[in-house]
Structure 1
Amino acid sequence: MYVILVYDFGEKRVAKMLKLCRRYLNWVQNSVFEGEISDVRLKELLMYIKMFMKVNEDSIIIFKTASQVFMERQIIGRQLGSTDNFL
């Protein structure tokens, strides 16, 4: 599946969240990640997030779709993160 993950975390946890999300998804811009991920890997990511997330202070929004093919992406202004994968 293809996901877009957006988060808003407290200042003390934001660096940890950034580092964790970079292991699973492509960084797009501040607090926004996207990419192909399996159900198992997404569940694993969420498990790690819940270990340090404060549910009364932090939030995560995950948009899911079957494939990136069904999404149109428009960037206006400077593109911060690259979603290209080089092998």
Structure 2
Amino acid sequence: MYVVLMYDIMMDKDGAKVQRNTFKICKRYLTHIQKSVFEGNLTELNLMKLKKELGQYIRDHKDSLVIFESRDEKWLTKEFLGLKDDKTSNFF
């Protein structure tokens, strides 16, 4: 399945650690395309692993993480405004 993930971490006293760990976990599974946005193909099992690992750091009352899922990337379109980044070439 094709996944687009984005997160927003509250930068309080523990925020830097949460953000660093969240970034590292996402980077292991997906392609980093922009600040806190990642994309890529994952199996159901890897998506479950990703969510479990992230669940150890994302704080329910302070942080936000959104995962968009699609069966296939061909159903997604992408439009650029401003600088176009080649790392986002996974979308058509």
Normalising TM by the smaller chain, what interval? 0.7 to 0.9
| Matches of 1:50 and 1:73, distance apart in 2 | 29
1:46 aligned partner? 51
Among 32, 52, 60, the alignment partner of 1:55 is 60
Q: Supply the distance in 1 between the matched residues of 2:28 and 2:85 (Cα, whole angstroms).
A: 18
Identity of aligned residues (%): 31
1:24 and 2:44 equivalent? no
| TM-score, normalised relative to structure 2 | 0.83
User: What TM-score results when the alignment is normalised by the length of structure 1?
Assistant: 0.87
Q: CA deviation at 1:53?
A: 1.7
Q: 1:77 maps to what in 2?
A: 82
- Cα 1:16–1:26 change in 2 (3 A) is same
**Secondary structure at the counterpart of residue 3 of structure 1:** strand
What runs of 5+ residues in structure 1 fail to find an aligned partner? Answer: none
For the aligned residues, what is the CA RMSD? 1.7
